[in-house]
Amino acid sequence: MVNPSVSQTRIWFITGCSKGLGRALAETVLEHGETVVLTARNLQQIEDLVIRFPNRTLAVKLDVTKPEEVREAVKQAIAKFRRIDVLVNNAGYGVLGAIEEVKDEEVRSQFETNFFGVLEVLRTVLPQMRQQRSGHILNISSVGGFVSYAGTGIYNGAKFALEGISEALAQEVTPLGIKITIVEPGAFRTDFVTGSLVITDIQINDYEPVIGEMRQGARDILDMKLEFKEPGNPKKAALAIIKAVDSDNPPLRLVLGEDAIYAINAKLESVKTELDAWKEVSVNTAFDEVLVTK
Protein backbone atom coordinates (compact mmCIF):
# COMPACT_ATOMS: atom_id res chain seq x y z
CA MET A 1 0.00 0.00 0.00
CA VAL A 2 2.75 2.48 0.97
CA ASN A 3 5.64 3.23 -1.31
CA PRO A 4 8.78 2.60 0.79
CA SER A 5 10.84 4.88 -1.43
CA VAL A 6 8.69 7.95 -0.76
CA SER A 7 10.83 11.02 -0.15
CA GLN A 8 11.30 12.17 3.42
CA THR A 9 12.07 15.71 2.32
CA ARG A 10 8.59 16.72 1.16
CA ILE A 11 7.56 20.33 1.60
CA TRP A 12 4.28 20.67 3.49
CA PHE A 13 2.25 23.90 3.51
CA ILE A 14 -0.22 23.81 6.41
CA THR A 15 -2.75 26.51 7.28
CA GLY A 16 -3.86 27.09 10.85
CA CYS A 17 -0.79 25.71 12.64
CA SER A 18 -1.26 27.57 15.91
CA LYS A 19 -3.55 25.03 17.56
CA GLY A 20 -5.70 21.94 17.19
CA LEU A 21 -5.24 19.43 14.43
CA GLY A 22 -3.09 21.80 12.37
CA ARG A 23 -0.62 22.15 15.22
CA ALA A 24 -0.56 18.40 15.88
CA LEU A 25 -0.02 17.64 12.19
CA ALA A 26 2.74 20.22 11.73
CA GLU A 27 4.63 18.96 14.78
CA THR A 28 4.28 15.31 13.76
CA VAL A 29 5.43 15.98 10.18
CA LEU A 30 8.48 17.80 11.52
CA GLU A 31 9.23 14.95 13.92
CA HIS A 32 9.19 12.63 10.89
CA GLY A 33 12.00 14.62 9.32
CA GLU A 34 10.05 16.55 6.72
CA THR A 35 9.79 20.29 6.07
CA VAL A 36 6.82 22.50 6.92
CA VAL A 37 5.71 25.97 5.92
CA LEU A 38 3.99 26.92 9.16
CA THR A 39 1.22 29.47 8.79
CA ALA A 40 -0.81 31.23 11.45
CA ARG A 41 -2.44 34.57 12.07
CA ASN A 42 -0.24 34.97 15.17
CA LEU A 43 3.34 33.85 14.55
CA GLN A 44 4.16 33.84 18.26
CA GLN A 45 1.99 30.76 18.66
CA ILE A 46 4.24 28.72 16.36
CA GLU A 47 7.58 30.22 17.39
CA ASP A 48 8.47 27.18 19.50
CA LEU A 49 8.26 24.90 16.46
CA VAL A 50 10.58 27.18 14.52
CA ILE A 51 13.06 27.10 17.42
CA ARG A 52 12.91 23.29 17.64
CA PHE A 53 13.19 22.74 13.88
CA PRO A 54 15.05 25.80 12.53
CA ASN A 55 16.34 24.16 9.34
CA ARG A 56 13.04 22.61 8.28
CA THR A 57 10.49 25.34 8.91
CA LEU A 58 9.34 28.60 7.43
CA ALA A 59 6.88 30.60 9.52
CA VAL A 60 4.57 32.87 7.56
CA LYS A 61 1.76 35.10 8.80
CA LEU A 62 -1.45 34.06 7.10
CA ASP A 63 -5.09 34.92 7.45
CA VAL A 64 -6.77 32.84 4.74
CA THR A 65 -9.52 35.44 4.34
CA LYS A 66 -6.93 37.93 3.03
CA PRO A 67 -5.96 37.09 -0.58
CA GLU A 68 -2.86 39.29 -0.45
CA GLU A 69 -1.53 37.32 2.53
CA VAL A 70 -2.29 34.04 0.75
CA ARG A 71 -0.34 35.11 -2.31
CA GLU A 72 2.58 36.35 -0.22
CA ALA A 73 2.73 33.18 1.89
CA VAL A 74 2.81 30.92 -1.17
CA LYS A 75 5.36 33.19 -2.83
CA GLN A 76 7.67 32.93 0.20
CA ALA A 77 7.28 29.15 0.32
CA ILE A 78 8.21 28.73 -3.35
CA ALA A 79 11.10 31.18 -3.05
CA LYS A 80 12.62 29.26 -0.15
CA PHE A 81 11.87 25.64 -1.03
CA ARG A 82 11.17 25.77 -4.80
CA ARG A 83 8.12 23.53 -4.47
CA ILE A 84 5.09 22.57 -2.39
CA ASP A 85 4.46 18.84 -2.19
CA VAL A 86 1.60 18.69 0.30
CA LEU A 87 -0.98 21.41 0.92
CA VAL A 88 -3.16 21.04 4.01
CA ASN A 89 -6.12 23.43 4.17
CA ASN A 90 -6.79 23.22 7.87
CA ALA A 91 -7.65 26.75 9.06
CA GLY A 92 -11.27 27.05 10.11
CA TYR A 93 -13.78 27.47 12.91
CA GLY A 94 -17.42 26.70 13.73
CA VAL A 95 -20.66 28.59 14.32
CA LEU A 96 -23.31 27.20 16.64
CA GLY A 97 -26.92 28.27 16.26
CA ALA A 98 -30.11 27.40 14.41
CA ILE A 99 -30.22 28.47 10.77
CA GLU A 100 -32.69 31.25 11.57
CA GLU A 101 -30.64 32.47 14.52
CA VAL A 102 -27.25 32.96 12.88
CA LYS A 103 -26.73 36.54 11.75
CA ASP A 104 -25.87 37.37 8.14
CA GLU A 105 -22.39 38.57 9.02
CA GLU A 106 -21.72 35.35 10.95
CA VAL A 107 -22.84 33.27 7.97
CA ARG A 108 -20.63 35.19 5.56
CA SER A 109 -17.66 35.10 7.92
CA GLN A 110 -18.04 31.33 8.31
CA PHE A 111 -17.98 30.81 4.55
CA GLU A 112 -15.13 33.32 4.08
CA THR A 113 -12.85 31.21 6.28
CA ASN A 114 -14.09 27.64 5.83
CA PHE A 115 -14.83 27.81 2.10
CA PHE A 116 -13.55 30.88 0.27
CA GLY A 117 -10.30 30.90 2.26
CA VAL A 118 -9.63 27.31 1.28
CA LEU A 119 -10.51 28.07 -2.32
CA GLU A 120 -8.08 31.01 -2.37
CA VAL A 121 -5.21 28.95 -0.97
CA LEU A 122 -5.65 25.92 -3.22
CA ARG A 123 -6.06 28.03 -6.37
CA THR A 124 -2.87 29.90 -5.47
CA VAL A 125 -0.92 26.67 -4.96
CA LEU A 126 -2.35 24.73 -7.92
CA PRO A 127 -0.23 26.44 -10.64
CA GLN A 128 2.93 25.29 -8.86
CA MET A 129 1.65 21.74 -8.48
CA ARG A 130 0.56 21.65 -12.12
CA GLN A 131 4.03 22.74 -13.13
CA GLN A 132 5.54 20.01 -10.95
CA ARG A 133 2.99 17.47 -12.21
CA SER A 134 2.81 16.28 -8.61
CA GLY A 135 1.36 17.19 -5.26
CA HIS A 136 -1.25 16.25 -2.69
CA ILE A 137 -3.98 18.58 -1.42
CA LEU A 138 -5.75 17.68 1.82
CA ASN A 139 -8.86 19.69 2.61
CA ILE A 140 -9.75 19.33 6.27
CA SER A 141 -13.51 18.93 6.40
CA SER A 142 -15.38 17.19 9.20
CA VAL A 143 -17.92 14.46 9.78
CA GLY A 144 -20.10 17.58 9.62
CA GLY A 145 -19.11 17.92 5.97
CA PHE A 146 -21.04 14.72 5.23
CA VAL A 147 -23.69 14.65 7.96
CA SER A 148 -25.65 17.72 9.10
CA TYR A 149 -26.77 18.36 12.66
CA ALA A 150 -29.34 20.74 14.12
CA GLY A 151 -27.50 23.73 15.49
CA THR A 152 -24.49 23.52 13.17
CA GLY A 153 -26.20 24.03 9.82
CA ILE A 154 -24.10 27.01 8.72
CA TYR A 155 -20.89 25.16 9.54
CA ASN A 156 -22.27 22.11 7.74
CA GLY A 157 -23.10 24.24 4.71
CA ALA A 158 -19.54 25.55 4.42
CA LYS A 159 -18.05 22.08 4.82
CA PHE A 160 -20.51 20.52 2.35
CA ALA A 161 -19.45 23.19 -0.16
CA LEU A 162 -15.81 22.36 0.49
CA GLU A 163 -16.45 18.67 -0.12
CA GLY A 164 -18.33 19.47 -3.33
CA ILE A 165 -15.43 21.35 -4.90
CA SER A 166 -12.98 18.76 -3.59
CA GLU A 167 -14.76 15.93 -5.43
CA ALA A 168 -14.75 17.91 -8.68
CA LEU A 169 -11.16 19.02 -8.17
CA ALA A 170 -10.03 15.42 -7.77
CA GLN A 171 -11.44 14.60 -11.20
CA GLU A 172 -9.80 17.66 -12.73
CA VAL A 173 -6.28 17.28 -11.34
CA THR A 174 -5.74 13.53 -10.96
CA PRO A 175 -4.63 13.30 -14.62
CA LEU A 176 -2.03 15.97 -13.80
CA GLY A 177 -0.44 13.91 -11.05
CA ILE A 178 -2.11 15.80 -8.19
CA LYS A 179 -3.96 13.90 -5.46
CA ILE A 180 -6.91 15.14 -3.42
CA THR A 181 -8.03 13.90 -0.01
CA ILE A 182 -10.97 15.16 2.04
CA VAL A 183 -10.28 14.59 5.75
CA GLU A 184 -13.41 14.04 7.86
CA PRO A 185 -12.59 13.98 11.58
CA GLY A 186 -15.12 13.23 14.26
CA ALA A 187 -14.65 14.59 17.79
CA PHE A 188 -10.97 15.06 18.62
CA ARG A 189 -9.45 16.42 21.82
CA THR A 190 -8.43 19.82 20.52
CA ASP A 191 -9.51 23.26 21.68
CA PHE A 192 -12.19 23.53 18.99
CA VAL A 193 -15.00 24.31 21.43
CA THR A 194 -12.96 26.68 23.60
CA GLY A 195 -10.98 28.37 20.85
CA SER A 196 -12.68 27.86 17.49
CA LEU A 197 -16.43 27.99 18.14
CA VAL A 198 -18.71 31.01 17.89
CA ILE A 199 -22.10 30.73 19.63
CA THR A 200 -24.66 33.07 18.10
CA ASP A 201 -26.18 35.49 20.61
CA ILE A 202 -29.67 35.29 19.09
CA GLN A 203 -31.78 32.62 20.76
CA ILE A 204 -35.28 31.70 19.51
CA ASN A 205 -37.24 29.73 22.08
CA ASP A 206 -38.90 27.46 19.50
CA TYR A 207 -35.51 25.87 18.74
CA GLU A 208 -34.52 25.22 22.34
CA PRO A 209 -35.97 21.67 22.47
CA VAL A 210 -33.77 20.77 19.49
CA ILE A 211 -30.49 22.59 20.11
CA GLY A 212 -30.78 23.98 23.64
CA GLU A 213 -28.81 21.18 25.28
CA MET A 214 -25.98 21.46 22.74
CA ARG A 215 -25.84 25.23 23.11
CA GLN A 216 -25.82 25.13 26.91
CA GLY A 217 -23.17 22.44 26.94
CA ALA A 218 -20.89 24.56 24.78
CA ARG A 219 -21.51 27.61 26.97
CA ASP A 220 -20.73 25.62 30.12
CA ILE A 221 -17.42 24.53 28.65
CA LEU A 222 -16.56 28.12 27.74
CA ASP A 223 -17.84 29.85 30.88
CA MET A 224 -16.74 27.32 33.48
CA LYS A 225 -13.63 26.11 31.68
CA LEU A 226 -14.91 22.55 31.84
CA GLU A 227 -12.83 19.81 30.27
CA PHE A 228 -14.51 18.23 27.25
CA LYS A 229 -12.99 14.80 26.77
CA GLU A 230 -13.48 14.00 23.10
CA PRO A 231 -12.44 10.47 22.14
CA GLY A 232 -10.09 11.36 19.29
CA ASN A 233 -6.32 11.72 19.76
CA PRO A 234 -4.94 14.54 17.53
CA LYS A 235 -1.51 12.89 17.37
CA LYS A 236 -3.03 9.69 16.00
CA ALA A 237 -5.07 11.74 13.54
CA ALA A 238 -1.84 13.34 12.33
CA LEU A 239 -0.22 9.93 11.89
CA ALA A 240 -3.25 8.73 9.91
CA ILE A 241 -3.01 11.76 7.61
CA ILE A 242 0.70 11.14 7.02
CA LYS A 243 -0.06 7.50 6.23
CA ALA A 244 -2.60 8.61 3.61
CA VAL A 245 -0.06 10.98 2.05
CA ASP A 246 2.53 8.18 1.98
CA SER A 247 0.10 5.84 0.21
CA ASP A 248 0.33 5.09 -3.49
CA ASN A 249 -3.47 5.14 -3.57
CA PRO A 250 -4.68 7.65 -1.00
CA PRO A 251 -8.42 7.84 -0.30
CA LEU A 252 -10.61 10.60 -1.62
CA ARG A 253 -12.17 10.60 1.84
CA LEU A 254 -10.22 9.87 5.00
CA VAL A 255 -12.66 9.43 7.87
CA LEU A 256 -11.08 9.78 11.32
CA GLY A 257 -12.71 8.39 14.43
CA GLU A 258 -15.19 5.62 15.15
CA ASP A 259 -17.86 8.22 15.89
CA ALA A 260 -17.43 9.67 12.41
CA ILE A 261 -17.61 6.24 10.77
CA TYR A 262 -20.82 5.45 12.67
CA ALA A 263 -22.48 8.75 11.71
CA ILE A 264 -21.53 8.46 8.03
CA ASN A 265 -22.69 4.84 7.81
CA ALA A 266 -25.99 5.78 9.44
CA LYS A 267 -26.55 8.53 6.88
CA LEU A 268 -25.65 6.26 3.95
CA GLU A 269 -28.14 3.65 5.16
CA SER A 270 -30.83 6.30 5.63
CA VAL A 271 -30.29 7.71 2.14
CA LYS A 272 -30.40 4.23 0.59
CA THR A 273 -33.60 3.33 2.46
CA GLU A 274 -35.35 6.51 1.35
CA LEU A 275 -34.04 6.19 -2.20
CA ASP A 276 -35.49 2.70 -2.47
CA ALA A 277 -38.80 3.70 -0.87
CA TRP A 278 -39.35 6.51 -3.37
CA LYS A 279 -37.77 4.88 -6.41
CA GLU A 280 -41.04 4.34 -8.27
CA VAL A 281 -42.06 7.96 -7.83
CA SER A 282 -38.60 9.09 -8.89
CA VAL A 283 -38.34 7.06 -12.10
CA ASN A 284 -41.92 7.79 -13.19
CA THR A 285 -41.02 11.38 -13.99
CA ALA A 286 -39.74 10.59 -17.51
CA PHE A 287 -41.67 11.07 -20.76
CA ASP A 288 -43.82 8.03 -21.52
CA GLU A 289 -41.71 7.11 -24.58
CA VAL A 290 -38.53 7.00 -22.53
CA LEU A 291 -37.68 3.46 -21.50
CA VAL A 292 -36.34 3.32 -17.97
CA THR A 293 -34.04 0.33 -17.66
CA LYS A 294 -32.64 0.82 -14.19
> Which has the closest alpha carbon to 193: 221, 215, 214, 213?
221
Residue 69 CB neighbours (<10 A): 17
Tell me which residues are annotated as active site: 141, 155, 159
Alpha-carbon distances of 125 from 27, 59, 108, 117, 178, rounded to whole Å = 22, 17, 24, 13, 11
> What does 204-264 look like in DSSP terms, one character per residue?
-GGGHHHHHHHHHHHHHHHHH------SB-HHHHHHHHHHHHHBSS--SEEEESHHHHHHH
Say how far apart CA 284 and CA 282 lie, in whole Å: 6
129 close to 84: Cβ distance less than 8 angstroms:
yes
Say how far apart CA 261 and CA 52 lie, in whole Å: 36
Say how far apart CA 181 and CA 192 lie, in whole Å: 22
> Which has the closest alpha carbon to 184: 221, 116, 232, 136?
232
